[in-house]
């Protein structure tokens, strides 16, 4: 018997919620709305999916599409604090040894990045999509995707800075 | 072959944990990364970021969100019913549904009159949706008739479900429940004045399992409700109630026969 969307949602809702939290810079309310819109919007299409389809990738794509569709385009300019960096430049690497990354800082730093960059990083860095698949979902080419992924360096820097200097203000954590 | 740059090397080796054939391009990319501080740092940063993200993923989505999602999906499903051929419904449910439509119409007409012509109920789809939802779907049945409860659950869940028929145990109602997205049945019984609930959650591939006392309640010590769980082929089951554990276990063993 084929899985229902309710069963599918039950299996994936935790992962989708965490993706939505990252995409929304740690804000819980819009993250919950994003998951809700994604799963209800997927209702009709889910029935038409062929058995054996890559449903996890499919719903992740839906999450990003809904997020981008509902994000105000002017947000693309709000990059204060975390910006792209030249890909080839020597980067500030993570500290050696084990360190506790401040997870709130991760979401907080994401909040300062353009939505499209957040979506690119979520797909590629966290969900391990290939460059080709991710660029297709984001409506760009591979070179455009690489540009977006340059924000990743800023994300690491912000997270590491925040972790090493936990006395930062709340304003630094969230926009 | 032209020397590979950072961008090409990262693209070629992404994602780094994926096994890949040792083709010339891959070997060249690996050579580049080994001799490039920036690229080594890039992949190290990747590991740190992924690790940080994975740690946040251990938290579960809020219960309220789950409920909102499942409620919304139920609404979508009832909308979908309007597009499918109507199912045969019993005369009793048809009468109840018709009464509901009449009631709604009367209420809706009153609202329409109060709000002016723009808020009228000209959209027949609203009635059709509600009619179908009420006519073919029901979430609760109050009855002490095991046959009626059996028919109700069989119709709602699409597989034969029978209430327990054990001396001294009287069924009082049955409900459709949703646990982790799975529709199931919850049948309530009364024995010696105490309520006992029996959950049956159909789940494909569930192997048979003997009844056992769940640690969920046993940790709370004496005096609270007891919970016994077990499985028959394709159905997860549980009994919960404020009755002695031994009695609940006896019921579960009878139920699994």
Q: How far is A77 from chain B (nearest CA, A)?
A: 24
Residues B186 and B124 in one domain: no
Determine the pLDDT at residue B255.
80
- C-alpha B63 chain-centroid distance: 12
Percentage of residues in chain B having pLDDT higher than 90: 12
What is the CATH class of A81-173? mainly alpha
Residue B110, pLDDT above cutoff 50? no
Q: How far is B171 from chain A (nearest CA, A)?
A: 29
Would you place residue A95 in the very low, low, confident or very high pLDDT band (cuts 50, 70, 90)?
very low
CA distances from A142 to A83, B18, B63, B198, B238 (A): 19, 19, 39, 55, 52
Residue A173, pLDDT above cutoff 70? no
Domain that holds residue B76: 63-136
pLDDT in tens, A98-144: 344 566 788 888 998 999 999 999 999 999 999 999 999 999 999 99
Determine the pLDDT at residue B176.
81
CATH 1.10.10.10-classified regions of chain A:
81-173
Any domain includes B1: no
The whole-number average pLDDT for the span B65-91 is: 63
Number of structural domains found in chain B: 3
Higher pLDDT, B180 or B130: B180
What is the CATH class of A5-70? mainly alpha
Any domain includes B182: yes
Which of A85-94, A121-130, B129-138, B216-225 tops mean pLDDT?
A121-130
Which of B18, B38, B181 faces A6 most closely, judged by CB atoms? Answer: B181
Determine the pLDDT at residue B54.
83
Kindly list the residues from chain B whose CB atom is less than 8 angstroms away from the CB atom of residue A18.
Answer: 53, 56-57, 59
Residues B13 and B70 in one domain: no
Kindly list the residues from chain B whose CB atom is less than 8 angstroms away from the CB atom of residue A126.
Answer: 49-50, 53
The whole-number average pLDDT for the span B164-175 is: 89
Provide the angle, in degrees to the nearest 10, between the axes of the packed helices A55-70 and A5-23: 50
pLDDT in tens, B190-211: 998 899 999 998 877 788 889 9
Q: Do B61 and A87 touch (CB under 8 A)?
A: no
Determine the pLDDT at residue B79.
66
CATH 1.10.1740.10-classified regions of chain A:
5-70
Kindly list the residues from chain B whose CB atom is less than 8 angstroms away from the CB atom of residue A101.
Answer: 48, 51-52, 55
Which of B11, B45, B183 faces A94 most closely, judged by CB atoms? Answer: B45
User: Residue B192 corresponds to which tokens in the numbers above?
Assistant: 């010696």
Determine the pLDDT at residue A74.
45
Interface test with chain A among B20, B73, B80, by most A beta carbons within 10 Å: B73
CB of B83 within 8 Å of a chain A CB? The answer is no
Determine the pLDDT at residue B96.
41
Determine the pLDDT at residue A103.
67
Q: Where on the phi/psi map is residue A143: left (φ > 0), alpha (ψ -120 to 50), or beta?
A: alpha
Residue B137, pLDDT above cutoff 80? no
Which of A13, A87, A94 faces B48 most closely, judged by CB atoms? Answer: A94
Kindly list the residues from chain A whose CB atom is less than 8 angstroms away from the CB atom of residue B51.
Answer: 101
**Mean pLDDT score of chain B:** 73
Determine the pLDDT at residue B217.
58
Would you place residue A16 in the very low, low, confident or very high pLDDT band (cuts 50, 70, 90)?
very high
Higher pLDDT, A157 or B108: A157
Which of A10, A44, A87 faces B180 most closely, judged by CB atoms? Answer: A10
Residues B48 and B104 in one domain: no
From the list B223, B51, B61, B255, the residue with the least C-alpha distance to A9 is: B61
Any domain includes B21: yes
Helix (H, G, I), strand (E, B) or coil at B231: strand
Predicted ipTM of the assembly: 0.78
Residues B161 and B236 in one domain: yes
Q: Which residue among B41, B56, B71 closes a domain? A: B56
Which of A35, A43, A101 faces B48 most closely, judged by CB atoms? Answer: A101
Residues B146 and B242 in one domain: yes
Residues B153 and B103 in one domain: no
Residues B164 and B244 in one domain: yes
CB of B49 within 8 Å of a chain A CB? The answer is yes
Residue B99, pLDDT above cutoff 60? no
The whole-number average pLDDT for the span B118-143 is: 48
Residues B149 and B210 in one domain: yes
Interface test with chain A among B3, B45, B159, B236, by most A beta carbons within 10 Å: B45
Contact B129, B78 (CB under 8 A): yes
From the list A147, A169, A131, the residue with the least C-alpha distance to A79 is: A147
Interface test with chain A among B49, B64, B159, B177, by most A beta carbons within 10 Å: B49
User: Residue B159 corresponds to which tokens in the numbers above?
Assistant: 């597989």
Residues B207 and B144 in one domain: yes
- Counting other chains too, the contacts that B136-142 makes at CB distance below 8 Å and 24 or more residues apart are B136/B81, B136/B86, B136/B87, B136/B89, B136/B93, B137/B78, B137/B81, B138/B93, B138/B176, B139/B175, B139/B176, B140/B173, B140/B174, B140/B175, B140/B176, B141/B173, B141/B174, B141/B175, B142/B172, B142/B173
Residues B196 and B217 in one domain: yes
Task: Mark A57-86 as b/e (b = at least 16 C-beta within 10 Å).
Answer: eebbbbbbbbbbeebeeeeeeeeeebbbbe
- CA-nearest residue to A94 within chain B is B45
Would you place residue A72 in the very low, low, confident or very high pLDDT band (cuts 50, 70, 90)?
low
CA distances from B180 to A4, A29, B242 (A): 12, 21, 24
Q: In what order do the strands lie in the sheet with B235-241?
A: B140-142, B170-179, B182-191, B194-202, B235-241, B226-232, B209-213
Residues B144 and B180 in one domain: yes
Q: Do A103 and B55 touch (CB under 8 A)?
A: yes
Which of B11, B69, B181 faces A35 most closely, judged by CB atoms? Answer: B69
Interface test with chain A among B65, B157, B159, B236, by most A beta carbons within 10 Å: B65
Determine the pLDDT at residue B87.
39
Residue B63, pLDDT above cutoff 90? no
Residue B122, pLDDT above cutoff 70? no
Residues B239 and B147 in one domain: yes
Q: Which residues pair with B241 in a beta bridge?
A: B196, B226
Higher pLDDT, A22 or A1: A22
Q: Do A125 and B73 touch (CB under 8 A)?
A: no
Q: Which residue among B136, B159, B185 closes a domain? A: B136
Q: Which residue among B113, B136, B159 closes a domain? A: B136
Determine the pLDDT at residue B125.
41
Would you place residue A163 in the very low, low, confident or very high pLDDT band (cuts 50, 70, 90)?
low
Q: How far is A20 from chain B (nearest CA, A)?
A: 10
The whole-number average pLDDT for the span B92-117 is: 36
Any domain includes B84: yes
């Amino acid at each position: 018997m084929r899985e229902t969307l309710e069963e599918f949602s039950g299996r994936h809702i935790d992962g989708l919620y965490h993706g939505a939290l990252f995409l929304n810079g740690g804000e819980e309310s819009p993250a919950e709305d994003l998951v809700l819109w994604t799963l209800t919007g997927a209702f009709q299409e889910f029935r038409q999916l062929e058995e054996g389809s890559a449903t996890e990738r499919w719903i992740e794509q839906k999450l990003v599409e809904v997020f981008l569709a509902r994000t105000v385009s002017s947000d693309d300019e709000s990059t204060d604090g975390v910006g792209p960096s030249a890909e080839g430049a020597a980067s500030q690497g993570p500290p050696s040894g084990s360190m506790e990354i401040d997870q709130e800082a991760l979401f907080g730093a994401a909040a300062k990045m353009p939505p499209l960059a957040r979506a690119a990083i979520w797909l590629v860095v966290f969900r391990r999509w290939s460059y080709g698949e991710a660029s297709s979902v984001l409506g760009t080419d591979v070179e455009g995707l690489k540009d977006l992924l340059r924000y990743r360096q800023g994300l690491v820097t912000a997270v590491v800075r925040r972790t090493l200097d936990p006395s930062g203000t709340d304003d630094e954590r969230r926009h | 072959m032209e020397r590979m740059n950072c961008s090409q090397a990262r693209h070629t080796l992404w994602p780094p944990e994926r096994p890949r054939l040792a083709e010339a391009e891959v070997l060249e990319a690996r050579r580049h990364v080994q001799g490039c501080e920036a690229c080594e740092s890039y992949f190290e940063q990747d590991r740190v970021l992924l690790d940080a993200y994975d740690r946040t993923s251990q938290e579960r989505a809020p219960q309220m969100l789950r409920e909102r999602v499942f409620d919304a999906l139920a609404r979508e499903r009832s909308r979908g019913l309007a597009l499918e051929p109507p199912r045969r419904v019993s005369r009793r449910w048809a009468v109840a549904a018709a009464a509901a439509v009449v009631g709604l119409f009367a209420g809706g007409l009153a609202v329409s009159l109060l709000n002016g012509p723009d808020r009228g109920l000209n959209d027949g789809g609203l009635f059709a949706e509600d009619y179908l939802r009420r006519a073919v779907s029901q979430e609760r049945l109050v009855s002490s008739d095991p046959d009626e409860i059996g028919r109700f659950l069989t119709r709602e869940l699409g597989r034969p479900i029978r209430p327990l028929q054990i001396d001294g145990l009287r069924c009082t109602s049955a409900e459709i429940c949703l646990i982790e997205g799975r529709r199931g049945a919850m049948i309530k019984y009364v024995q010696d004045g105490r309520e006992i609930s029996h959950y049956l959650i159909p789940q494909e591939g569930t192997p048979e399992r003997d009844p056992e006392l769940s640690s969920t309640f046993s940790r709370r010590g004496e005096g609270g409700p007891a919970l016994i769980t077990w499985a028959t082929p394709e159905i997860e089951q549980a009994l919960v109630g404020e009755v002695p554990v031994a009695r609940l276990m006896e019921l579960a063993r009878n139920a699994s026969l």
